Amino acid sequence: MVAYNAHMTIDDDKVYKALADSSRRQLLDRLHQQGGLTLSELCEQQDMTRQAVSKHLALLEAANLVATVKRGREKLHYLNAVPINDIYMRWIGKFEQKQVQALFNLKQALKEDHHDET
Amino acid sequence: MMKPELIYTTYIRTTPEKLWHAITNPEFTRQYWGGNENVSDWIPGAKWAHISGDEQRAARIIGQVVESVPPKRLVLTWADPADEADISRVTFQIESVDDEVRLDVIHGDFRPGSDMVNKVSGGWPRVLSSLKSFLETGKALKSASCAAKHAATEALV
């Protein structure tokens, strides 16, 4: 049981560390928009060097936030949201879910109103 | 191979045999996949269906078994019974990695213009989180199975 918990903590730590960087979150945002991108495609529209993007991708892959598939000589990258869902489910239980969603919707609606005014 | 649209990976502390069973056994699928059962003989060419576990036995998703290599690889076609022509393809790949089992779910070959990809992209992470919890703790995530149920319903609209 202890081993199991320790194991989970290591996995979770990787996910949190991977998410704690705005460049890596940008890469995830890009993959959320469009899956199956190569390293070169991911380097477009980024202020980072190819080497930096490659390093960030390796970290995201190690945290299992990015899944990859090989197609010929290319490596395609995809957002893997499963670990994020695991984290979400850890703290947001059955009864809270509706309330949290309602608050999120309210926040979005207020934001949109604000944009309309400005 | 066409470029797949969706790929999900999860690492589960279980055995490949148990994981295969969890995906193909109706009693198990019902517990973590929104109360729905996966039903088939699981041999190539056989039909399979994702049906509600209640009295209605309503088919949510239907298709055919394309490949079946227990406990390693399962390839299915995937369609909404209301629009059978809108077929896509789901591959489950199971592989032992150290003391864990890696599950890859690849959902691709969507028909041009199909919005199935949007319907399932939110649902798969929830189903796979719930599957992981089910196999590791013996309990599905209640909230996940509710959410997955919602997702399964969404996939029908």
Nearest to B3 among A71, A94, A97 (CB): A71
Write down the pLDDT at residue B55. Answer: 93
B92 found inside a domain: yes
Q: Write the CATH number for B62.
A: 3.30.530.20
Of all residues in chain B, the one with the smallest CA distance to A76 is B3
Per the domain annotation, does B1 fall within a domain? no
Backbone φ and ψ of A94, nearest 5°: -55, -45
Backbone angles phi, psi at A27, to 5 degrees: -65, -40
Say which residue the tokens 């489910």 belong to: A89
Q: State the residue for tokens 């729905």.
A: B36
Q: Which residue has the higher pLDDT, A4 or A41?
A: A41
Per the structure, the complete domain to which residue B129 belongs is given by 6-154
Q: How many domains does chain B have?
A: 1
Q: Which of B7, B126, B142 sits opposite A80 (nearest CB)?
A: B7
Say if the Cβ atoms of A35 and B6 lie within 8 Å: yes
Q: What mean pLDDT do residues A80-88 have?
A: 90
Instruction: Tell me how close the Cα of B87 comes to any Cα of chain A, in angstroms.
Output: 20
Dihedral of CA atoms B25, B30, B33, B35 in degrees, nearest 10, equals: 160
Residue B109 domain-assigned?
A: yes
Minimum CA–CA partner of B102 in chain A:
A64
**What pLDDT sits at residue A117?**
60
Residue among A4, A11, A93 whose CB faces B143 most closely = A93
- What lies within 8 Å, CB to CB, of B95 at 6+ separation is B16, B72, B101, B102, B104
- Say what the alpha-carbon torsion angle B143, B146, B22, B49 is, to the nearest 10 degrees: -170
What is the distance, to the nearest Å, from the Cα of residue A86 to the centroid of all Cα atoms in its chain?
A: 12
C-beta of residue B30 within 8 angstroms of C-beta of residue B42: no
**CA trace torsion B44, B50, B54, B56 (10° rounding):** -90
Q: What is the ipTM of this complex?
A: 0.77
B68 found inside a domain: yes
Q: Do B7 and A78 touch (CB under 8 A)?
A: yes
Per-residue pLDDT of chain B (157 residues; tens, 9 = 90+): 467 789 999 999 999 999 999 999 999 999 999 899 999 999 999 999 999 999 999 999 999 999 999 999 999 999 999 999 999 999 999 999 999 999 999 999 999 888 898 889 889 999 999 999 999 988 776 544 444 444 444 443 2
H runs (alpha helix) in B14-141: 16-24, 26-32, 116-121, 123-137
Which pLDDT score, from 0 to 100, does residue A6 have?
45
Residue A114 bridge partners (DSSP): none
Burial class (CB in 10 A: 0-12, 13-18, 19+), B132: buried
**What is the reported pLDDT for A105?**
80
Instruction: Answer yes or no: do B143 and A4 touch at CB < 8 A.
Output: no
Question: What is the structure's pLDDT at B66?
Answer: 98
Q: Smallest Cβ distance to B126: which of A64, A78, A85?
A: A85
The CATH classification number of A2-80 equals 1.10.10.10
pLDDT of residue B46: 98
Chain A residues close to B125, C-beta within 8 Å: 81-82, 84-85
User: How far apart are the CA of B149 and the nearest CA of chain A, in angstroms?
Assistant: 13
